[in-house]
Structure 1
């Protein structure tokens, strides 16, 4: 009864349960979140730690936006290349509908191969290839601008005939493509000449030719861009978003005390980050502007971006900027969602607050793990083939995995050594800097790890791409010994009359021989006049004899064509005959520098002729692979710079958090320069030592990689340039942080939150 009466009484008197109190930050519409964003925007320009975070976010946003623009520009460039490649591809046809003859050959300038396309119109109204305003006249050649520029010293303008101008951009997959359109002085007429030509009805079909034959797929380019530059840009973004300051910690604690959730903290973070992220995204447009106005050459690759492709893709570029801005803001808002330092401080109420010191005992696991990785790398050189590569890669992964812990141990010991030296020398800045390094090694460790990994990402792919096969190594040795004093000339269309005319067109001191490499013979047969054979130290005999001579040119010829090489003297100048499939000419000269004249004489007689020094085709192939290192240097240098920037911001933020702690040093030392000295000993000196150590580790690592691959070379030039950048970063970071700390101490007044 009492219970029932009580319940009835509550209902009749109109009493209700009290509602839960509303927290000050409980949403009441759009005004709260807009106010939180404005609070974050105003606070982001307040305390020194926030100003450092402002610049870090600006740099990170610019880096992410540049990578996004790079992806968009790559896609636009490949789309343009594909469209122009299809527009100029020949459409094969039968004899009734053919309007022109088409034939492709290859040549090289400066170790870089290019296509030489021979054309012969069959009808007067036929449309010329894209990029040409008219068909070349008989004996004329039209070159791409890049080929004309690169081959000027090799007399490329007159190699294929009379120079008739340059190919327009519409006929080139890229402005840096090397391509030539040539019309023979005499149209093909014999049946054996016609079999090498294609009959076409026009242009407009996909056809692999020119630069498209050697270009890498878009996926490989984006993968290299993402790994070497995109990942460091994301690392910089994470560091910038995680930068802490006392003012920001107090704001976070106040928001929690007022009942704010992570969403409220995210809104404040968005407000503080909106301006620097927008400014950084806008700055990313600056390197794009020259590429939109003109064809921009990318150092050190030498590749020319087509400005028309980029202008046509402006919606994609604009969308990339917008996506970069949004994703950067979202990442900044979500990354600091959990602040472990603040959570730990809030959760340890009532617990001892005595500060923890760094451990005195040296952990053994990191040292053992790092030593194991080094041992695997060293052991890999005693293996062969795939096991050697697997052991090297496994050792590299293990070494890099334990690198941060090993670096922390080494840098902590270095800090103790610096502090001990400062104590003996009674140097307060050195003592303070050494103790900071010993107690807070993370600032230097992050930069040290960035240096080693960044240098490794630059050097290892270059070592891989610099590998030479046995043939390429032999060709390089031949080039060093005899240069271009032996040149081979090969074409199925060479006739005895052509050989005679060709010999007359050669410069003085050059001699022509024929060589037959038919497999049905006991060995390759070298033939020439008695005078020519005597210049090579060979006997004049009408009966084939072994090629025994100590002349360097003859030694190289025998090495490349086989030790079974035989020699026979020709009875008369009109006797030389060439096997269409297995015959070629050899031009031997007394002095260097005759190849350009040999090429001009050969192309004047026979189209699509191959003129090369012994093994030159192997050197051209290895040079094409080595040129990939230029792209590794481009993306890797940008990635290393971003990693160093991330480490620098992290170290500067750590220094900014602790620079006010020993404020009494200015009183004890009667000088504010103690901060500059402490910053140099805390950052610059350890980082310079770390730079030297990173360079030594990278060089050692690359040397063992060369030994494991049994080929390749260490990129000493790129490594030296990267180490110079690391050293410059160390000096700049120490000077700037020291000056900032000195200015903050000299002012000695609180700043607004």
Structure 2
């Protein structure tokens, strides 16, 4: 046991020394440092996400109303929505019936009738829109204990008068903390934790792992020879593992520790995640420190496992000479890439809930191993180029082709960044273009008429109340009624728009004063055109006095003379004595879904992933420059021409990378079109894809030119050595 421990310690010290003396040691040191930091960063982000979800659910349950069907509840409670700053906000109307009426978490006492409590974020984003007076008199803020996140936008409004007894939207509440808080605030549209985690690992985790693979193989030629020597001396895989761990453990450990800096900051202070606008609650991050420590250790082990796994030595059973990965492309990599493609294709036949997950899994696998397929193609291309160069006497083509044929692993590492980079850019574009038919229609309507047509849903309104409401509207506004009629089959439903002749004529509707009104053929206003698009069969009727029935079939329409007056309309609507009011622009519910934060989250994860993959590409290219400059330098003596550097670098680096660009562009186009067909929404921006392919083509040319330049500089200083 003692001898084994001493041998292990000696081998570990050999690894530590090798990390400071091998070619490209500083590059690999910083590469492993960055790889460990990025992998740990994504892992800690996963921990923070899970902790945030747990904290959100706990705080939501603490404020959730316990509904009672008693005839004498302590509190009447109703949930509503509003739009502030193009984002939805939750408006909770309450009417205490007893002095001991319960209060939810975050509320110390109910305000006086006609007063309102607002969340800090709602005040910050809606102050310019008048939210401090829109729902009632401002009486204070909701504390963070009653908010699922610090960025939540919610208001508690105590109505001035008693709610109508026949309004089913009012619920009796006996207490709070009953676990039903999932229907208000940011919990309304909360997706399962698997959704952000899948996007995080697909867009940022995969590039981080790619950086780890690339960094582990920096200076691999020297390391492979050392592994072969250890094997020839009788060393086992355990001995080689100890040496490789000794070489990589210091930068990897320091990188993992560095990743804790942003996590530590997020655990003591709320952080706003740009561009989502989401405030990360530091309390949740702080509570997950034990799990974060274990996760960081796991990420370090994963990086070290990649280092060990990428430096294996195999025997073919016929020779004692060790073979390395650089001599061939392992068949299992091609099989795994094919499995990823199969998952993508097979996702269309699965249940709807499983389709997206399987598609994403197949996408990650496909992008991770597509570079191996490219390397196989370029390896065969290298063999053909070498043969052609030999027949024609072209030294650059001969040498470049042979290098490409003998070292396909180099192409894998160089192409990996380009393949994943194009894939990330394409997925970001496709995901952010995903809008359903109704959301697209809402966005189109908003482009045409902005917010000049506003729907006001009330629980009933008398003619005097409607007159007072009209008087409080912005100057030049029209007040109409909208009534849904459903006569039943075989007749189709239709909508009637009622108003005074003055208001109807302003919409270019003919009003004779006898109760009849018809739209002018070919001269309808833009507002009427959009109403017809949303309501279908629209008919008009004269209504001298506006009234609203206390049912869901009728509501109000306000048409303003100019856009940007919605805040004033809301101010007037929420001042109505009946608090059962909801105000939104035409198609507003669908417009809010088109402005959801999902594209912002995709953009954030994608930008982080692109940064990681850019670092991976830079490390891979720099490592190849180190290898090329040492290998090419003697050619100036053998050929007597410096032009050979540019020729070899072009055939060995530029041509394979151009092949990778073409293959990746074709696969990305197919993958994007397939995704749109799968989810049945979104569009492919061929301009974005073309720009991505062009950028990669330029990078391919630049890598070849820089490789030739570094080799030429090394040739000026090269002297023969006994190596």
State if a TM-score over 0.5 links the two structures: yes
Cα distance in 2 for partners of 1:79, 1:721 equals: 41
Asked if the contact 1:516–1:579 (Cα under 8 Å) also holds between the matched residues in 2, the reply is no
Q: How does 1:543-562 map to 2 (within 5 A)?
A: 543-548=515-520, 550-562=524-536
Q: CA deviation at 1:698?
A: 4.0
1:65-84 alignment to 2 at 5 Å? 65-84=40-59
TM-score, normalised relative to structure 2:
0.80
| Aligned counterpart for 1:482 among listed residues 427, 434, 449 | 449
Q: What's the counterpart of residue 161 of structure 1? A: 136
Taking the aligned partners of 1:331 and 1:314, their CA distance within structure 2 comes to 26
Determine if the alignment matches structure 1 residue 613 to structure 2 residue 588.
no
Q: 2:512 aligns with which of 540, 543, 554?
A: 540
CA contact (8 A) 1:47 1:751 kept: no
Look up the SS of the partner of 1:192 in the other structure.
Answer: coil
Checking the alignment, whether the CA contact within 8 Å between 1:60 and 1:233 is kept in structure 2 is: yes
CA displacement 1:339-381 (0-9 Å, x = unmatched): 24xx47x964699x9xx999xxxxxxx9xx99xx9xx99xx9x
For residues 720 and 177 of structure 1, what CA distance do their matches in structure 2 show?
A: 39
Preserved CA contact (<8 Å) 1:159 1:599: yes
Q: Secondary structure in 2 aligned to 1:287?
A: helix
**CA-CA distance at 1:145 after TM superposition:** 2.7
Offset of 1:29 from its aligned partner? 4.3
Separation of aligned partners in 2, 1:120 and 1:445? 66
Query: Do the aligned partners of 2:66 and 2:174 also contact (CA within 8 Å) in 1?
Result: yes
User: Contact between 1:46 and 1:752, CA under 8 Å: does it hold in 2?
Assistant: no
Shift of 1:580: 1.6
Per-residue displacement from partner, 1:208-256 (whole Å, max 9, x unpaired)?
1211121111123323333333344334334444445444344324423
C-alpha displacement at 1:281, in angstroms? Answer: 0.9
The change in CA–CA distance for 1:489 and 1:300 in structure 2 (over 3 A counts) is same
2:179 is aligned to 205
Size of the aligned set, in residue pairs, is 692
Q: 1:268 Cα deviation (Å)?
A: 1.4
Counterpart CA distance in 2 for 1:399 and 1:30 is 42
1:696/1:141 Cα in 2 relative to 1: closer, same or farther (>3 Å)?
farther
Structure 2 equivalent of residue 659 of structure 1: 629
Counterpart Cα distance in 2 of 1:752 and 1:139: 92
After superposition, the CA RMSD in angstroms is 4.8
Q: Which digits, 9 at most, give the CA deviation of each residue in 1:439-490, with x for residues without a partner? A: 7565345443543344334534752563333333333332222222221111
What residue number does 2:566 align with? 595
Aligned residue for 2:630, secondary structure, equals: coil
Q: Name the counterpart of 2:549.
A: 578
* Offset of residue 726 of structure 1: 5.8
Gaps of 5+ in 2: 329-333
* CA–CA separation in structure 1 for the residues paired with 2:321 and 2:36: 41
Task: State the match for 1:187 in structure 2.
Answer: 161
For residues 415 and 127 of structure 2, the distance between their equivalents in structure 1, rounded to whole angstroms, comes to 46
Residue 412 of structure 1: CA displacement?
Answer: 8.0
Matches of residues 251-270 of structure 1 in structure 2 within 5 Å?
251-270=226-245
Which residue of structure 1 aligns with residue 501 of structure 2? 530
Compared CA separation, residues 149 and 142, structure 1 to 2 (3 A):
same
Question: What's the CA shift for 1:179?
Answer: 1.5
Structure 1 residues 523 and 229, CA gap change in structure 2 (3 angstroms): closer
Instruction: Kindly indicate whether the alpha-carbon contact (under 8 Å) linking 1:644 and 1:729 is maintained by their aligned counterparts in 2.
Output: no
**Does the CA-based 8 Å contact 1:49-1:247 persist in structure 2?**
no
Q: Distance in 2 between matches of 1:116 and 1:589?
A: 24
- Asked if structure 1 preserves the Cα contact closer than 8 Å seen for 2:210 and 2:417, the reply is no
Question: 1:486–1:587: 8 Å Cα contact kept in structure 2?
Answer: yes
Structure 1 residues 609, 676: closer, same or farther in 2, change over 3 A?
farther
| Residue 136 (str. 1) matches residue 108 (str. 2) | no
Q: Compared with structure 1, are the counterparts of its residues 745 and 636 closer, same or farther at alpha carbon in structure 2 (3 Å cutoff)?
A: same
SS of equivalent residue, structure 1 residue 191: coil
Does structure 2 conserve the Cα–Cα contact (< 8 Å) formed by 1:50 and 1:245?
no
The residue matched to 2:166 in structure 1 has which SS?
helix
Structure 1 runs not aligned, ≥5 long: 1-25, 359-365
* Shift in CA distance, 33/350, structure 1 to aligned 2, threshold 3 Å: closer
- Counterpart-to-counterpart distance in 2, 1:736 and 1:503: 72
Pair member with larger Rg: 1
What does residue 331 of structure 2 align with?
none
